[in-house]
Amino acid sequence: MLTCIIRYHIDPTKKEHFAQYARNWGQAIPRSGADLIGYFAPHEGSSTLAYGIYNIPSLAAYEDYRQRLAADPLGRENYAFAQKEKFLLREDRTFLKLASAPHGEPE
């Protein structure tokens, strides 16, 4: 299992746009085959950093997921919304693999 962490730099004057974007992905991402952990918006500290986090079985599964997400009507709408409103200034993806046992389980 891989965890994809998307770090967004957002326009701090458009936090509500990011919140709507996150709510839309909350529907489209699970429907497209990824295990969404959640989207996280700025609250305290940085006003420009936000995150999206989900699990995917493999990089091959990720490629299939991305195709389904791009074909999803809400996915297409959300991509267009971000392009039109320009609240995403930068987006970086990192894929991580769990290196420790979950809390409370022996390693």
Helices (H), 1-107: 15-32, 59-71, 73-85
Distances (CA, A) of 5 to 73, 80, 104: 23, 21, 24
Q: 16-59: per-residue pLDDT in tens?
A: 999 999 999 999 999 999 999 999 999 988 899 999 999 999 99
C-alpha to C-alpha distance for 23 and 75, rounded to whole angstroms: 11
Q: Which residues contact 90 (CB under 8 A, 6 or more apart)?
A: 8, 9
pLDDT at 105 over 90: no
Claim: this prediction has a pTM higher than 0.75: yes
Q: How much is the pLDDT for 41?
A: 95
Q: How much is the pLDDT for 100?
A: 87
Mean pLDDT, the chain, as a whole number? Answer: 94
What the chain holds in terms of domains, given with CATH numbers, is 2-96 (3.30.70.100)
| Region 76-105 average pLDDT | 92
Q: What pLDDT band is residue 106 in, cutting at 50, 70 and 90?
A: low
